[in-house]
Structure 1
Amino acid sequence: MTAIKELKATARAKVGKGAARAERRAGRVPAVIYGDGKAPLGISLDYTEITRTIYAGHFLTTLFNVDVEGEKHRVIPRDYQLDPIKDLPLHVDFLRVAIGATLEVDVPVHFVNAEASPGIKRGGTLNIVSHTVALNVPADAIPDAINVDLTGREIGDSVHLSSVALPAGVTSAIHGDDTLATIVAPSGLKEAEADEAAAAAAAAASAATPAKKS
C-alpha cells in the first residue's frame, strides 16, 4: 500500500491574487483542495515544508493527508506553479481522493539492465522517447516508477509500453501503444551500413547491365 505523507495547512479566509500575494509575503504558499463533489477549500502551506516536499521527488504521485486545523483531507497533488526565475513554489492544487479510487497519474519510466542489451554493447544509443507514462492506478498503490528491462534489445529495436509488465491493477491511460525508447545505431555503423548498401546496389546494377559486344 502506498505510504500516505502528512502535511499541515491553515484555511484561507480570502482568495484571489491579492490574498495570495499576502500569503507569500507571510512565508506561506497558497493552495486549494478540490474534487469529490465538495466545494473547493482554500488553504495555505508552510513555505519551507512544501518546498522541501516538492523537491524531494515523486510529489505528483504521492498521497497526502493534509491537516487543515484538525480536519484531515486525503489528497494527491494535481499541479503546482513555480516562480519562473527562482523555481520556488507559488501555488499548489490538490485533488481529494476517495477510498478505493483509481487515478490517472504520470509515472516515471526507468530503463534497467542496459549492460545486458547487445545493441547498446555494440555502441548503440538508447534514445528515450518518454520519461513518464500516463497510467490508471489504484490510489493506494501508485508505483514509484515503471522499470523497462533492456535485456536482449538490439540496434533498431523500439520499446513499447505494451511489452512492459505493469503492476497488478495498473493499466495504460492512453489510446494505442506508446513508444518509450528506441536503440539507434552509432553514426559510424550507420555510415558503414550505408556504404555496404551503396556497394551492393552498384554491384546489382552492374550485373543487370548487358555487356557491350565488340
Structure 2
Amino acid sequence: MALRMLALAFLAGLPLASLASGQAAEDVVLIRIETAKGDITAEIYLGAAPVTARNFLDYVDDEIFDSGTFYRSVRMDNQPNDSVKIEVIQAGVDRGMSERMRPAIPLERTTTTGLSHVNGALSMARGGPDSGRASFFICLDDQPSLDFGGHRNMDGQGFAVFGQVVDGMDVVRDIQMGAVEGQQLVERVVVERIRRILEQTEQHGAFVASPRARHEHSWSRVKIVRYPDASAGDSFMGRGL
C-alpha cells in the first residue's frame, strides 16, 4: 500500500506533458536516464511505436546503455552545411558493447505511429530507412523536418519517435550547450544507466515500481569524460540524422 501511494504521489507530481500523447497507460513505460548532468525522465510508447520502443527497452533491460554517452549536440550555430537545421542531442552505446548489439530494426514512420518530433521527443537515429539500432536523440523544440515527409534526411522517410521527456528538459538543454568541436561534444556526458522506473499493473490500476527498479536504490553519478579526439568517428556513434 505504501508503495502504491508513493507511486501515485509521483504521478501527481509529473508535468502535464505526461501521457500527453494519448497513449493508454498500460502501453507506456517510464524510464530514467541518469547522467552526470542530472536525470531525464521519459515515457516510452509501446502502444504507438511497438517495434522501436521494444528495441529500446530491450537495450535498457540488457543494460547496454550503461556507460554510453551523449556525444553529439546539434544546434543552430554548428550546422553550416545543412540547409535544414535541427536542434537535438544524440546518445550512443560504448564501443565495448559491440558484441551485444541487436540487429537493425524496420523504420516505424511517424505517419504510422501518429507521433511527432515535438519538443522533448525521443527518436531513433538512422542512416538508411531500416538501419536503426541503439543510437537515439532527443529533440529541443519542435522539429517537423524529422517527421515523415521532412527534408532533414534526403529520403523523406523521417525518423522513428518512440518516447517523450516528461521531466528533465533543463538537463537536455544543459547537455546541448556544452562545448563542441563541430557537432561533437568536447566533454561527452556519460550515461551512468537507463532503467525502467515504474510499470502499470492491472491489479492496482496504478504505476508501481518494477522488480528491477525496486532493487536499485543507489542512483549514483559519474564523471564527464574528456576525449582529446572528440571529432573522431566511432562505430556506434555516427551522425544517424
Superposition TM-score, scaled by structure 2 size: 0.22
Bigger relative CO (Cα 8 Å, ≥ 6 apart)? 2
Larger relative strand fraction: 1
TM-score by length of structure 1 reads 0.24
